[in-house]
Amino acid sequence: MELSLDRVLGIIGAIGIIIGVGVAIAMDPKVKGEALFASGCFILSGISLCLTVGVWAFGTTLPTVSRIVITGVLCGCVCIATVEAIRWSNGRYQRAVSAEKKPVTPVVQAHPEVHPLDKPHSRASTDKTGPRASLEMELKPAIDVTAVRLYVDLNVVNVGQMAARKFVRLHRGMISKGMRSKEEVDEKWEEFERANKTEPLGTNDMGIRQKGSWRYEYSDFKLTRPLTVDILKDIDEGRSVLYVFVALKYKDDLHPLLESTACIAYTKGTAVTCSGHNTVPL
């Protein structure tokens, strides 16, 4: 059977709809490329069906008024259906991305580690059952691809029985292609710790149950590469991992030096703690 032009266009439009719906349903809703492909199928279908109506209208023998009314109604229905199909496909992608961007909050139970002193000290300064200051941390990383922004919120509370004196915040970040091995993370952590040993205590105090919050922007981590959309997408889609190291050095009225530390790895909207670098009491 010979196929006329309007039939060929109609078949192309129907096939485009089937492919578009199939891809939109089967795709990973977080992958933008697949969402764009489904939208492209719907656009191709809409154009093909509108051309089908146009070819039919050109060759029909219906009166002018009837031809205009039928053509307008059919083209209007095709255009509305095409727009709604694209909105549906794009909505699935946007909802998936929005859900993934919600920062996952790993609560890092970072208790103080007592460092030995070079000179003799009293038993009270090393007695882990006695009163002490204890700063507990919560790290909340987040990414905003649209605004080209990456930041990490640090929330601290003193859960100890004494005020934390002269505390100072130390931090470092790095971005790697994929998850690093434990040995590689340990090596970077040791570099971070060696640098921290030369840092003096600060000037701020934190009372019992007192809280504090700070936000680290991408520039605060002093990374060599400027922040770009590609870097954010790589982290957001799991191709890269953001590592964040944080150390709090402080003292209390009994202990000359205390430290709380935390390390997290963040990718695809999920943050996990690094093994062995979130301090617990000695």
Cα-based torsion angle of the residue sequence 88, 94, 95, 97 in order, rounded to the nearest 10 degrees: 150
Q: What is the pLDDT of residue 197?
A: 87
Q: What is the pLDDT of residue 6?
A: 58
Q: What is the pLDDT of residue 150?
A: 94
pLDDT per residue as tens, the chain (282 positions): 455 665 666 666 567 566 656 655 666 666 777 777 777 777 877 787 777 877 778 777 888 888 888 888 888 888 888 888 788 777 877 777 666 555 544 444 444 444 333 332 222 333 455 789 999 988 999 999 889 999 999 999 999 999 999 999 999 999 999 888 888 988 998 998 888 888 899 998 999 999 999 999 999 988 888 999 999 999 999 999 999 999 999 999 999 999 899 899 999 989 888 876 766 432
Q: What is the pLDDT of residue 16?
A: 59
Q: DSSP string spanning 92-116?
A: HHHHHHHHHHSPP--EE----EEPP
Task: For the chain, give every domain's residue range.
Answer: 5-100, 103-273
Tokens of 11: 């078949």
174: closest CA among 233, 108, 239, 240? 240
CA distances from 35 to 27, 39, 117, 185 (A): 8, 6, 60, 36
Q: What is the pLDDT of residue 282?
A: 27
Cα–Cα distance for residue pair 36/42, rounded to 1 Å? 10
Q: What is the pLDDT of residue 42?
A: 74
